[in-house]
Structure 1
Amino acid sequence: MKMRKAPALDGMPDFHDSLEWLRHRHHLSRESTAQQAGFSSSYLHRLIRNRTYPGPRVFTKLVDSFDLDSSQRRHLHDMWQPSLELPPAEELRQRLTGLGIQTHLDQLDTRYTLAVYLDPLRTVLHGNQTFHRMVPGLAEADNNYFQWMFSPAARDHIHDWDNEARYTVTILRATLGRYRDLPRARTLFQRLRTTPEFPSIWESTPMQVTYDRPRPTPIHVRTPGTDKPLSLSLEISDYGECPDVLLAYGTPALAAENTTLEHDRTG
């Protein structure tokens, strides 16, 4: 039996589309997939046609039918689970303000340490001056780091932007898998689709996801007054005092960075 062409994963992350893509990726028919997983092919047909979700036992057997790494298994599990909710960004900002986080941000500025509070969709809630110097033009990107990464300012500012953009897309895919039905997650995705480079990167990296914290490699940033890009290692963690908030730190800047930042402040 000749199999149909695999569906392009060009939209929001979706459990059923991902199953079909994986099946084609492994050159499996629905019949052979069902047989390998230990249930009837008619059940798999109904699952895909009616866009229903299997129980835990069948889900596990399906996942085991494909050669997935731990991140891909987690991503498929996220899409199998109900989409998560998320408070509005302004509500999260107000919670953080009530917790007095500005003092903490100001203290880190004195040590030239980048710090920023974000929601899971990477909307910037509060950031210190060091952070905002590293991401010029953030306001024009709706104060969203994902959108900023695909802005002209980021392409000018990030060294080796192509690789950084691909890495960012893998983080975005994991995030959208968890919040796929959230209206503002869908709005974010649609806005990104209008940028020149995003669609091709998104479509060329199907099922590539990243959950790693901290980042495996530094991000390299161009700054005025220096010939060599500055290396910035980031560590991202959940902010325990406020659910649905992430806290990202940049390692203390090197002496060369200190000089540049001080020049920016006084110049």
Structure 2
Amino acid sequence: MAPEQHGGTELGRFLRARRTQTSPDSLGLTTGPGVRRTPGLRREELATLSGVSIDYYARLERGKETRPSPEVVDALARALRLGDDEHQHLRELAARAARTAPEPPSAPSRTVRPHIKLLLETLRPNPAYVLSRSMDLLAWNPGGLALYAGIADWPAKQRNLARYLFLHPAARDVFGDWDNQIRGCVARLRALAGTDPDAPDLASLVGELLLKSPDFAGLWERYDVTGRKYTTKTFHHPTVGDLTLGVQAMQLEGTPGQRLGVYLAEPGTPDHDAMLLLDLLDLTAARTVGDEAAPRHR
């Protein structure tokens, strides 16, 4: 994440991003005639709304003040009209900034336990996979890999859903709502980076995407941490056609942040028929990735 190493703290960067994206009109502030040179709220306006001095707020944003009280954090959240997820993220950033010594960066294992791989197999024909916290595709059943058309062409260790969305040439065609997909993806990574910015797995991925994708870089700068909560996703698959599937995702207990993702369709529907075809696709790469793939049994 080298492009952002320019001083300050994640707490300060988050506050500045939210301040510059908050409309004075939305808070009932009169802006008067003429064009404002500052996008969003001015520092002094946010300080006044939060009940803190302008100097204190400026120090917070610049990373010179790192121990805001819970009352100040809550006042800032109210002034910025933060949602529940953003408010909680602000609390986590404040807690991290207050630590006298940073915690050592974690390097989560990519290993998926055998019984979780067995679970993927038992979920067939429903497409299912296991993701790392930074969206690496760690294990899958046939449909789980085939659903993301073209991702099987990449080596197993390169398969990452964020990388796929921004860098794979097929992604824009696979997702009709690609713009919404990428916003939710960046919000998830931003939330993780705020509380563990030095984690090597995340730093490597973000650094790559900042360099290779202007779309990613633009969204990363916005510092949104709340994405759309999906209940269904529509795929425009080049082999099985269009299908809209229900989505369920859950944390896997006892793992280093691994998540299980499962797609579902009502039996007897065209979507279910397309899902059955996905499960039968013969992807050579899905059978040759060794320990990172779920077992295939016919």
**Same fold by TM-score greater than 0.5:** yes
Q: Is the 2:12–2:63 contact (alpha carbons within 8 Å) kept by the matching residues of 1?
A: no
8 Å contact from structure 1 (residues 115, 250) kept in 2: yes
Following the alignment from structure 2 to structure 1, what is the Cα–Cα distance between the partners of residues 143 and 63? 50
Aligned position for 1:202: 219
The residue that corresponds to 2:292 in the other structure is: none
Number of the residue aligned with 1:72? 86
CA positional deviation for 1:85? 7.1
Cα 1:162–1:233 shift into 2, 3 Å:
same
Work out whether residues 47 and 53 of structure 2, in 8 Å CA contact, stay in contact via their aligned partners in 1.
Answer: yes
Map of 1:239 onto structure 2: 252
Corresponding residue number in structure 1 for 2:275 = 257
In the TM superposition, 1:7-26 aligns within 5 A as 11=4, 14-24=10-20, 25=22, 26=24
Confirm or deny: 8 A CA contact 1:14 1:79 kept in the other structure: yes
Counterpart of 1:61 (choices 75, 98, 107) is 75
User: Structure 2 matches for 1:38-187, cutoff 5 A?
Assistant: 38-53=51-66, 54-82=68-96, 87-89=106-108, 91-93=109-111, 96-97=112-113, 99-109=114-124, 112-135=125-148, 136-137=150-151, 139-140=154-155, 142-150=158-166, 151-187=168-204
Whether contact under 8 Å (1:164, 1:219) holds in the other structure is no
Q: SS of the counterpart of 1:194? A: helix
1 CA distance for matches of 2:95 and 2:233? 32
1:205-244 aligned at under 5 Å gives the runs: 206-210=222-226, 215-226=230-241, 229-244=242-257
The AA in structure 1 aligned to 2:261 is A
* Residue identity matched to 2:237: R
Q: Given residue 46 of structure 2, which amino acid in structure 1 is its aligned partner? A: T
Residue 201 to residue 50, structure 1, CA distance change in 2 (3 Å): closer
* 1:180 maps to amino acid: P
Q: How many corresponding residue pairs?
A: 247
Picking from 177, 191, 204, the partner of 2:208 is 191
Q: Percent identity?
A: 22
- In structure 2, what residue type is equivalent to 1:170? A
Go from structure 1 to structure 2 and tell me whether the alpha carbon gap of 1:77 and 1:84 turns closer, same or farther (over 3 Å shift): farther
Q: Is the 8 A contact 2:121 2:141 kept in 1?
A: yes
Aligned residues: CA RMSD: 3.2
Compared CA separation, residues 247 and 16, structure 1 to 2 (3 A):
same
Contact kept in structure 2, 1:105 and 1:128, CA below 8 Å: yes
- The change in CA–CA distance for 1:41 and 1:260 in structure 2 (over 3 A counts) is closer
AA matched with 1:14: E
CA pair 224-161 structure 1, distance change in 2 beyond 3 A: same
| Structure 2 unmatched runs, 5+ | 25-39, 97-101, 266-270, 285-298
TM normalised by structure 1 equals 0.77
| Partner secondary structure for residue 222 of structure 2 | coil
The 1:86–1:220 alpha-carbon spacing in structure 2 relative to 1, beyond 3 Å, is farther
Q: Deviations over 1:66-121 (max 9, x none)?
A: 122223223323333328877535x241xx32x52222222222xx1111111211
Structure-2 change in CA distance of 1:47 and 1:184 (3 Å): same
TM-score norm. by structure 2 comes to: 0.70
Name the SS for the 1:219 alignment partner.
Answer: strand
Q: Does the residue aligned with 2:262 lie in a helix, a strand or coil?
A: strand
**Given that residues 105 and 198 in structure 2 are in contact (C-alpha distance below 8 angstroms), is that contact kept between their aligned partners in structure 1?**
no
Give a deviation string over 1:1-47, Cα, whole Å, max 9, x none. Answer: xxxxxxxxx95993212222333434544334333322322322333
- For 1:201 and 1:230, the matched residues in 2 are separated by 30
- Which residues of structure 1 form unaligned runs of 5+? 1-9
